[in-house]
Structure 1
Amino acid sequence: MNKSLGGVFRSAWNTTKNNFVPLLVGILVYVGPTLVLSMITTALPVTLAGSGLAVGLELCALAYIIFASPFYMGYITSVLRTWHLTGAPVRMSTAWAAAKANYGRYMTTLLAAIVISFAAIFVIALVSSVAIVGSIFSAAGSFYGGSAGYEYLTVLAAMMPALVVMVALIFFYSFCLSFVQFIPGMEFPSGFQAVFRSFRYIFRGNFWKNLGHTLIIGLITVGIELVVILPFYVPYLSTVLAPGATLSDITYASTALTAALPLYTLVITILGIFLQTFTTPYMFEVYLNAKNVSDGKDSQQLQRTYGDPYTNFTQDNNTQPPDGGGQYPPQIPPNGGR
């Protein structure tokens, strides 16, 4: 079934509404420790900001993300899978047990995604570097005859198309990995097979609809975040852009904005957690939709290649018995022949 945008939204909202607590608990367990470590690192005195303690806390946060990600993805997929198959909320203990059982498959998938990502980043950086160098050389004649600031702006203008291409390639690659977190828990493949299957569903499962679903949820998420964080920047921007703003006014506004950063970080983190309880089921519905479309195309292709599988197994009911008067097929006499 190829769902429309409204159908995906309704299914995702229904999933979030009926599984809000299990989803929220899983997200908090995954995000909470990294958030605490980040807050401790940010709160360190300036004298310790670049010390070994800060570096150690950052490494601990990175290690936790790497080793907890497979467990988190397995847990969330178990919650969504149970609801999709049974229509009933899963017990959290059952979801944790499923995540533990699938931990190895998710870890191999994560490592495969990291390897492929390094290769993709290298290719994107190479293409972007060639494009940037080409843009600069193509506009080299306009760098001379002006002030240093004008030449600097000219270089940036020449580099802009290449930078746009780089950002587009990074987004496109991230988009192709949208389904990796669900495949090991929903299907058999893991590792590189899961990564490549995500690419397959993206392209074969109605590419433009998948792209549209992803862009729409991204724009909605960014729009909600902008509405929430805008009040933190309105006083600063109104002061800086005021016609009669003095240096002291701008300094005061900057100080006030810096003082509000911890509150801003807390608000945006809480908002992100609650948004994730909807965006993850939403992308799960997009994955199911793309998988159904891809599987339907595979089934149609097999039918065109091999024909109807049941046709070759039918036989004429009027087949005559073999010569000699025997029965075809053999039959058991009444009462067992007694």
Structure 2
Amino acid sequence: MIRVVQWATGTIGARALRAVIEHPQLDLAGVHVTGEDKAGADAGTLCGLPPTGIHATTDPKQILTLGADCILHMPRVLDVDELCTLLESGANVVTTCGALHHPPSMDPDVRARIAAACTRGGTAVHATGSSPGFITEALPLTLASIQRRLDRLAISEYADLSQRPSPEMLFDLMGFGRAAEGPDPRRLAHMRESFGPSLRLLGDAFGLRLDAVEATGDVATARKDTRIAAGVIEAGGVAAQRTTVAAMHDGRPVLSFTATWYCTPDLNPAWELRPTGWHIAVDGDAPLDIDLRFPIPLERMADISPGYTANRAVNAIPAVVAAPPGIHSTLDLPHLVSALPES
């Protein structure tokens, strides 16, 4: 049994916590939370399961005394000092923070600090999730295994957000409903930083020399006042956003990730939209055109979708615990598989 600590219990963390409790090869050692309202709560209560006898704490020092084999690290943003402290304590780390997907392109000082912490603690760290992670690394690598010539690999993500009851996320954070002034430069930078490392990792795997990673985007507006679960988008307000992160080779995009997130299909200008899910097009000597759709009603998407990110992180734990000290990308670890709970 591998002793695991769940660090943070937001939407993704709570789903991961549930998976750890139900996993046949994992033993929950502790839970770290940031809010005082969750301090002292039973781990089972935090994820909708019966009581476990393990209670959450806001004290990091208490977590470090547990002697966990691995910490599932799922904060909202990466705190490098915090991560280094966990690694130095002797606990391996699987994180959903995206900064570690491609170690060679990390900030050299940050990479050196984390690598040194791994050496001191004899530990490994790996970043993964569904997007980036599964759809931008694991699946493209598998699809490319039947190619001998790869001309283009394009990953597209579609998300219908009309039934997401989260005005803070849609209106305040993502900027839906605002006046159409073109793509937000901060959003372009964020997307390039989030998905660029995965594209660079694919470039390394395929032996492609990448000249640059660029981010571009556009928006579409609502043709009429539109009510969604989060509120109302007035006519002329941003109702769809499309961002493309492209890895360039000899002046052309060879690898790309495009996120198209929309609140209504009634857009100006009209866009070609797909249902929530992913689409991958591979242009090579063995061309492929693949749709992955989520067979979930939109009103249940917010409840089900966290598992796509949480489950891959949980499934990575045995491989990361077995890995030598250091920062490990998808290329460094064996293929991740699930050890399913008994039915």
**TM-score, L = length of structure 1:** 0.22
Judging by fraction of residues, say which structure has more helix: 1
Larger radius of gyration: 1
